[in-house]
Structure 1
Amino acid sequence: MKRIAVLTSGGDAPGMNAAVRAVVRYGIYHGIQVYGVKRGFKGLMEGDLHEMTISSVGDIIHRGGTILRSARCPEFIEEEGQLKAINVLEVFKIDGLVIIGGDGSFMGAKALSDKGFPAIGVPGTIDNDLAYTDFTIGFDTALNTALDAISKLRDTTSSHERVTLIEVMGRNCGDIALYSGLAGGAEAILIPEVKYDIDEICKKLISSNNRGKTQSIILVAEGVGTAAEIGDIIHEKTGLETRSTTLGHIQRGGSPTAKDRLLASQMGAMAVKILMEGKSSRVVGIRKNEIFDMEIHEALDMKNEFDTEMYELAQILSI
């Protein structure tokens, strides 16, 4: 490996910059030229590559978002787009590529690897929806952002004696809702992995209200439905005053937590190390607090295993 490139793709996640920094500095330390690709696969197809130096990644470890920026690129899904990207990589004499992103980005890494170009995936997504790894870069920061919002909203919820529904991101994965709901003492957590009974939730709220509890917090994962619609149903069934808040993209921003900075630094360095060892078609992950790598096809084929024990604990503690 004499020359490698790094790109960020898909939705931005806090810690992506820390991962880029690790790729660049670990590579330079080992005598490798490192190029940054602007705007993900779109920039790759357009040849938007620039050599990076130690100074290029100075003062970015604490910054959210991605200095390389990101963009959606439907053209890359097609073989023509993939071949165009490989041609650009060959023109720039790039020997290997590090791709930081979620499952869609990993599909891009897989496509390049299948065509013989060395590509390594690093998991950067707040959803924590990649089954092969315990945690993804950005999840911990998003979790703490949601938790901070829960704490603030509970203050006003208590003051006005309401039921507040908080909608968080996560698509088909309810980890942000589950983790923040448990940590924030939510009275109910609605996630796509578990079918909820609105009547049981209403019964619980009425029972709590009758024993003197005048405020409640309900976490709603976006894959379940909107907090506003569910709040209207609860109000109609119980007569309790409800308010809804959608956190939206605020969960993606902000300075990454120490946990995300450490994870990103370790994973970024591991990605370069794998390329130096001559490996390809791999992804980096963390399992039982150990950084590891595995075959990308195997990683993408794995199914998410829902943490039933944590969900049941949240149910028990919210009585």
Structure 2
Amino acid sequence: MKNLVSMKELSTDQILSILNQTKAFHDGTSSTLRNNYMVSNLFFEPSTRTKMSFEMAERKLNLEVLPFDAGFSSTLKGETLYDTVKVLESIGLDVLVIRHEQNNYFEELVGKVKPVIINGGDGTGNHPTQSLLDIYTIWQEFGTLQNKVITIVGDISHSRVARSNADALTRLGAQVRFVCPPEWQGEFEAFNNFDEVIEDSDVLMMLRVQHERHDGKTIFSKEQYHQAYGLTLEREKKMNKSAIIMHPAPFNRDVEIATELVECNRSRIFKQMENGVFVRMAVIEMILKGRE
């Protein structure tokens, strides 16, 4: 593994190796990296969880983190992403974590630049480390993904989380289902009635409605969406006893999930965030160890 840009480039064995290394870090194992590496996080879209999680992971690995502020970079003067990356390569960066609004932005970088490229999210396409932390959280909960029913609910067509998880979870033996309004199912087959799939789900993974990708067009009010596709208090009561609630966040309270459920006993939302640090440590360490 020389870079990480999508889940499709990871074999099942590689995913399992990342899970095992994540658990080792979670249990207190220290990094074994020998060199001093320089890393920068290039986020051209807003982010709290992913950006800060990567920075915490990098600091726990004793990497030197060079700040990058897209709002004050030369991309505002017309510099291309490729040229920005070549600048950072020239001054000695070893690892670049990039989030960008363009789908598959990494295609112009991988194999053409020296730094490691880790995808922190591209448009509506891929979000591999989010998928890995989701997988780890489910694995942590149940000890396996085999035959687990994962129901992903929400703005499917605009979700890089849904796309990354659909492939990886299925390869690991889970049954993945989607629930959304017909207008938002994109290339996926999806249920339109949320209540039909609640009782036999092991995981309900709720997704944020990405208004910024809807060109200002809305088909529901917040209240209408919550009643039709939100995880309400009434729907939570229908979940099976061991089922858990997940959400990649940020979450809109009382839209896709009732406020009372965000931190309920079933919720693993903040556990996902905690796990994200260890997953990102594992990814960075494994890539850099392969280069040593």
- Check whether TM > 0.5: no
Aligning the two structures, in what range does the TM-score lie when normalised by the shorter sequence? Answer: 0.3 to 0.5
TM-score, normalised by the number of residues in structure 2: 0.39
Who wins on radius of gyration, i.e. which is larger? 1
